[in-house]
Amino acid sequence: MSDLEEFRKETCAWLEENCPAAMRKPMRSEADACWGGRNAVFTCDEQKLWMERAGAKGWTAPEWPIEYGGGGLTREQAKILKEEMAAIKARSPLVSFGIWMLGPALLKYGSEQQKKHYLPQIVRGEIRWCQGYSEPNAGSDLASLQTRCEDKGDFYEITGQKVWTSYADKADWIFCLVRTDRDVPKHNGISFILFDMQSKGATVKPITLISGRSPFCETFFDAVKVPKENLVGTLNKGWDIAKYLLTHERAMIGDSGSGGDIGGRSIGQITVDSLGTDAQGRLADSALRADLARAEIDGWAFMLTMERMKDEAKAGQGIGARSSMLKYYGTELNKRRYELLMASKGHAGLEWEGEKSRDGELPRAWLRTKGNSIEGGTSEVQLNIISKRILGLPAS
Amino acid sequence: MALVLNEEDDMLRDAARGFLADKAPVAALRKLRDEDDPLGWSRALWAEMAQMGWAGILVPEEYGGIDYGMVGAGLIVQEMGRNLTASPFISTAMMAVTALRAGSEEQKQKWLPAIAEGKSIIAMAVDEGVKHDPAKTALKAEAYGNGYRLNGSKAYVIDGFDADALIVAARTSGEPGDEAGISLFIVEKDTEGLSSLRTKLLDSRNYALNAFDDVDVAGDALIGTLDEGFGLLESVLNVGRTGLAAEMLGAAEQSFDMTVDYLKERKQFGTIVGTFQGLQHRSAHLYSEIELVKSAVLKALQMFADAPTMAGAGAALAKAKAGEVAILAANEAVQMHGGIGMTDEFDIGFYMKRIRAAQELLGDYAFQADRLASLRGF
């Protein structure tokens, strides 16, 4: 038996023993996700158990080094883990900005002490993170951010405002872009810093969206004191970290909008559940069927592209600006898919309140997708990046 | 298997790229067209390709091939797409070889070494109507003497004009529309009652209208099992569909590269037109679409070895997506080149024509999408 076959066998056995039955069915909605954190709210005991077991094994971050609490798996092993989890329909044990975004940045730019301190906590789901990037006057033009960070000798003092901070009201800590030099070109005076959201002077205010939900907040900092060792990387070189991290964020947003199943069913199957088929087993609405097939073709090709980019990255070809392609395509695709789901549910898809629709789960999710192509850099910004950095088309 | 090429694949692709750009660029296709070449491709060039092992790329070593596998075949045909190289690679080296590998020992002995040497050209005769639909096969094969008698006709037979033999999908029982009752026969060129007429299509390639008028073949002309040939036919068609997808990927990449280069040099309103955001965003979108095609094509190629039961779905995905995006690439290329893109003197029109044909052959977007939707249960 090859090493990989051996690993697959061990993985199956471990999952069989450790993944609780309740965690072996697809999430019905975002509400079923496990975010961890100091004030974690679990939907059931099994959810907590699953996060703790996977965290202790390092399999919430399978490819991070073992010394920082990760699983230490190779790309091939991680792929096998993913496949075997999918085979038993295991839920992701932990959904975490720490794993998707901060972790990769710390692994690349953090000090040894920072890695040893923060990464194991992220793996175990003990600290929930939020990302302090956008400001009221720094959206697509992120580098013009103005939140001030002043050196007060023994500590830094941060004053300013962030906006669109995802789950700031639920997060324990923030990784934040701040201005540390106002007298240089905008990209050269930004730093990357971490602090506790319980710090004196930090306040949050949720923003109600068109979906009626509030995944985002306005976040205010009034002379927040931050220890100096919380600065990541070099002072005034935070834009490099921001760009690196945006690459991960874009890939992640693209991934979440991928062509995969929703609640364990393909969009075509969901439509069949809703509308039924003709005698040949086909959707009777041939125009809708054609649109669904097109979305599934693009969805499958997109997922394969995500896979190829990861494989190429492992083979030493950095993903670089191509993350903009993933972000652009994945989010636009997700919007298309939700338009089709709305069509597949007909009038029932319009219900906003009521048990049948779980209080309008679908229309709220549909509205939420509209932000996918805005957050993390709009589609138009991604197309600009592709034009400039990949195609080499000149700036106007 | 990881969705990346290995070192050996890279070497093969680089060799193909260099050879084809040198020996068979678009100018070679233009020459074949302008000289009204009776065959539509060059025998001398095919002999050279055979010497490099390309004709036998899917032929087992014991029959004189190199048995490299589908990924290698896909890389070669992708480079052919870049250069619009006319050759019987897809018809003979990919599809006919796949059919014959399922044949009898005698059939393999007779044909596979000859194909690998570049001496035999064999075409798949499948379609009869104006849209691809193999289950609708009506051409009749009836038991006659010790063999079979074939009557009917096949149209749009890729490389079927002057081919040394045809592999014919024939109805031996049931009705047109039934998947059961289809059988495959190999019929040699000079068999009495078989006629071949070159059909000239927009892409200047070799296509034939083959008529069968009381064509008698011996019992050993049957490939595979009587009445149960549809599964084998589908395997052959999936190889062809994936080959066409790879060719369209190459053609789309080349059209796109030409377009981006042009945007960087063409000046209007006192500036390079590539600075205009309207063109930049369309280019960036097309770039993204081509990236998806690359993934779908590579996966489809790998599936023939890694997940054979999924190869049909992989081929449908690759053919659909490659066809859609190649059409977009050709249309955008002509539009962004402006007036020069409409001229025969400029090469882009050749790409547009070949892409149109390739996406129609062996099932267009709607055909592949319908297959996938059925496979996915809707």
Assign residue A340 the CATH number of its domain.
1.20.140.10
Within this chain, do residues A219 and A272 fall inside the same structural domain, yes or no? no
Report yes or no: B244 and B317 within 8 Å, Cβ to Cβ: no
Pull the structure tokens for residue B273: 């037109």
Going A338 to A339 to A344 to A349, the CA torsion angle's sign is: positive
**What's the whole-number average pLDDT of chain A?**
92
For B263-301, letters b (16+ CB in 10 Å) and e give beeeeeeeebbbbbeebbbbbbbbbbbbbbbbbbbbbbb
Instruction: Please count the residue pairs, one from chain A and one from chain B, whose beta carbons lie less than 8 angstroms apart.
Output: 132
Distance from CA of A291 to the nearest CA of B (A): 10
> Is A305 in Cβ contact with B294 (below 8 Å)?
yes
Judge whether B264 is closer than 8 Å to chain A, CB to CB: yes
Report yes or no: A173 and A196 within 8 Å, Cβ to Cβ: yes
The model's pTM: 0.88
Lowest mean pLDDT among A186-200, A250-264, A307-321, B160-174: A250-264
Going A345 to A348 to A352 to A356, the CA torsion angle's sign is: negative
pLDDT of residue A258: 55
> Is B2 in Cβ contact with A315 (below 8 Å)?
yes
Distance from CA of B167 to the nearest CA of A (A): 31
- Mean per-residue pLDDT for A235-261? 77
Pull the structure tokens for residue B5: 């090429």
> Is B292 in Cβ contact with A302 (below 8 Å)?
yes
- pLDDT over 90, % of chain A: 81
> Is A300 in Cβ contact with B377 (below 8 Å)?
no
pLDDT of residue A256: 57
- Mean per-residue pLDDT for B287-302? 98
Within this chain, do residues A150 and A78 fall inside the same structural domain, yes or no? no
Quick one: pLDDT band at residue A265, thresholds 50, 70, 90? Answer: confident
Quick one: pLDDT band at residue A18, thresholds 50, 70, 90? Answer: very high
Quick one: pLDDT band at residue A254, thresholds 50, 70, 90? Answer: low
| Residue B299 clears pLDDT 70, i.e. is over it | yes
pLDDT of residue A262: 74
Report yes or no: A330 and A256 within 8 Å, Cβ to Cβ: yes
Quick one: pLDDT band at residue A29, thresholds 50, 70, 90? Answer: confident
As a CATH number, domain B123-229 is 2.40.110.10
Structural domain contains residue A88? yes
Structural domain contains residue A107? no
User: What DSSP element (H or E) covers B154?
Assistant: strand B147-158
For residue A391, give the nearest of B275, B284, B370 by CB distance: B284
Q: Which residue of B has its CA nearest to A323?
A: B288
For residue B317, give the nearest of A282, A301, A311 by CB distance: A301
**Boundaries of every domain in chain B:** 7-121, 123-229, 231-375
Within this chain, do residues A16 and A85 fall inside the same structural domain, yes or no? yes
- Mean per-residue pLDDT for B360-365? 98
Contacts of A282 in chain B (CB under 8 A): 373-374, 378
Distance from CA of B250 to the nearest CA of A (A): 17
B231-375 CATH fold: Butyryl-CoA Dehydrogenase, subunit A; domain 3 (1.20.140)
pLDDT of residue A173: 97
| Residue A116 clears pLDDT 70, i.e. is over it | yes
For residue A396, give the nearest of B277, B293, B299 by CB distance: B277
Structural domain contains residue A117? no
Within this chain, do residues A154 and A202 fall inside the same structural domain, yes or no? yes
Assign residue A207 the CATH number of its domain.
2.40.110.10
Angle CA(B15)–CA(B316)–CA(B246) in degrees, nearest 5? 15
- Mean per-residue pLDDT for B56-69? 98
Quick one: pLDDT band at residue A310, thresholds 50, 70, 90? Answer: confident
Which residue is listed with tokens 């233009």? B30
Secondary structure class of A124 (helix, strand, coil): coil
> Is A298 in Cβ contact with B292 (below 8 Å)?
yes
Quick one: pLDDT band at residue B92, thresholds 50, 70, 90? Answer: very high
> Is A308 in Cβ contact with B4 (below 8 Å)?
yes
Judge whether B6 is closer than 8 Å to chain A, CB to CB: no
| Residue A250 clears pLDDT 80, i.e. is over it | no
pLDDT of residue B1: 82
Its domain, for residue A276, covers: 257-390
- Mean per-residue pLDDT for A5-27? 94
Contacts of A298 in chain B (CB under 8 A): 292, 321
pLDDT of residue B175: 97
Report yes or no: A191 and A235 within 8 Å, Cβ to Cβ: yes
**What's the whole-number average pLDDT of chain B?**
97
Report yes or no: A131 and A174 within 8 Å, Cβ to Cβ: yes
| Residue B67 clears pLDDT 80, i.e. is over it | yes
> Is A391 in Cβ contact with B378 (below 8 Å)?
no
pLDDT of residue B142: 98
For residue A394, give the nearest of B2, B275, B281 by CB distance: B275
Pull the structure tokens for residue B166: 């045809």
As for how many domains chain A has, the answer is: 3
Q: Which residue of A has its CA nearest to B294?
A: A305
Judge whether B378 is closer than 8 Å to chain A, CB to CB: yes
Contacts of B3 in chain A (CB under 8 A): 304, 307-308, 311-312
> Is B298 in Cβ contact with A396 (below 8 Å)?
no
Within this chain, do residues A233 and A263 fall inside the same structural domain, yes or no? no
Judge whether B306 is closer than 8 Å to chain A, CB to CB: no
List B residues 273-302 in contact with A (Cβ-Cβ < 8 A).
274-277, 279-281, 283-285, 287-288, 291-296, 298-299
Distance from CA of B246 to the nearest CA of A (A): 14
For A80-108, letters b (16+ CB in 10 Å) and e give bbeebbeeeebbbbbbbbbbbbbbbbbbe
Structural domain contains residue A101? no
Distance from CA of B3 to the nearest CA of A (A): 5
Within this chain, do residues A79 and A139 fall inside the same structural domain, yes or no? no
DSSP H helical ranges for B197-276:
230-265
Assign residue A51 the CATH number of its domain.
1.10.540
Within this chain, do residues A71 and A32 fall inside the same structural domain, yes or no? yes
d(CA B372, CA A316): 34
Q: Which residue of A has its CA nearest to B6?
A: A315
B7-121 CATH fold: Butyryl-Coa Dehydrogenase, subunit A; domain 1 (1.10.540)
Secondary structure class of B38 (helix, strand, coil): coil
For residue A386, give the nearest of B264, B287, B293 by CB distance: B287
Within this chain, do residues A263 and A385 fall inside the same structural domain, yes or no? yes
- Mean per-residue pLDDT for B339-347? 96
Structural domain contains residue A121? no
ipTM exceeds 0.90, yes or no: yes
Residue B153, strand partner residues: B211
Structural domain contains residue A323? yes
pLDDT of residue A251: 66
| Residue B261 clears pLDDT 70, i.e. is over it | yes
- Mean per-residue pLDDT for B66-81? 98
d(CA B266, CA A200): 59
Boundary residue ending a domain (A34, A69, A95) = A95
Structural domain contains residue A344? yes
> Is B285 in Cβ contact with A305 (below 8 Å)?
no
Quick one: pLDDT band at residue A23, thresholds 50, 70, 90? Answer: very high
Judge whether B269 is closer than 8 Å to chain A, CB to CB: no
Contacts of A329 in chain B (CB under 8 A): 288, 292
Distance from CA of B266 to the nearest CA of A (A): 12
> Is B292 in Cβ contact with A305 (below 8 Å)?
yes
Boundary residue ending a domain (A188, A206, A237) = A237
Structural domain contains residue A349? yes
Whole-Å CA distances, B235 to A150, B97, B130:
68, 11, 22
Within this chain, do residues A269 and A193 fall inside the same structural domain, yes or no? no
Within this chain, do residues A159 and A191 fall inside the same structural domain, yes or no? yes
